[in-house]
Amino acid sequence: MTSRIRRWVETDTGHRVPNHKSKCRHMHGHRYRWEVELEGEVVTQSGVSEEGMLMDFSDISEILNKYIHDVVDHAFIVYESDEEAVAALSLMGDEHRTLTVPFVPTAENLAKWAFEQVDTHIKTSYGNSLRLRAFHVRETPKSWATWYSES
């Protein structure tokens, strides 16, 4: 039997969807929630810190902070082919936090990106078949996107 756990961080992050038919084509921001979902067997090794867990929540938080929060919080995510936005952001100088990505920064694409940033860092030493099952990105309180592991 497997168990699943989730842990999340939140960021204030800007983006735009340059070809969008409505207002999302404008530069704007969201209070994003970046939520990791892990799956595996509960650690049964007696006496270890993770006994009874899949992975320590604080270890998950460290990963999310390093590879997601610290990269995109108070930053602007811009599609590399969005020439207008790239040009505008370049005027802000090197102090401006800009993350240039090779995709349109929709919630769906950001969920896939976040999954890829975190996946290789999810591991334990206890043989509990731990894996990153999914990454959920909440763009607004009513709007979520998820990228699932194919296996």
Q: Which residues are catalytic?
A: 24, 69, 139
Give the residue carrying structure tokens 């704007």. Answer: 28
Strands 3-15 and 75-79: parallel
Whether 60 contacts 33, CB under 8 Å = no
- Distance separating alpha carbons of residues 48 and 33, to the nearest angstrom: 31
Residue 139 corresponds to which tokens in the numbers above? 């763009």
Give CA–CA dist 128/44, Å, rounded.
Answer: 8
Q: List b or e across 5-37, with b for residues whose CB sees 16 or more CB atoms inside 10 angstroms.
A: bebbbebebbbbbbeeeeeeeeeeebebbbbbb
Quote the CA–CA distance of 85 and 58 in Å, as a whole number. Answer: 36
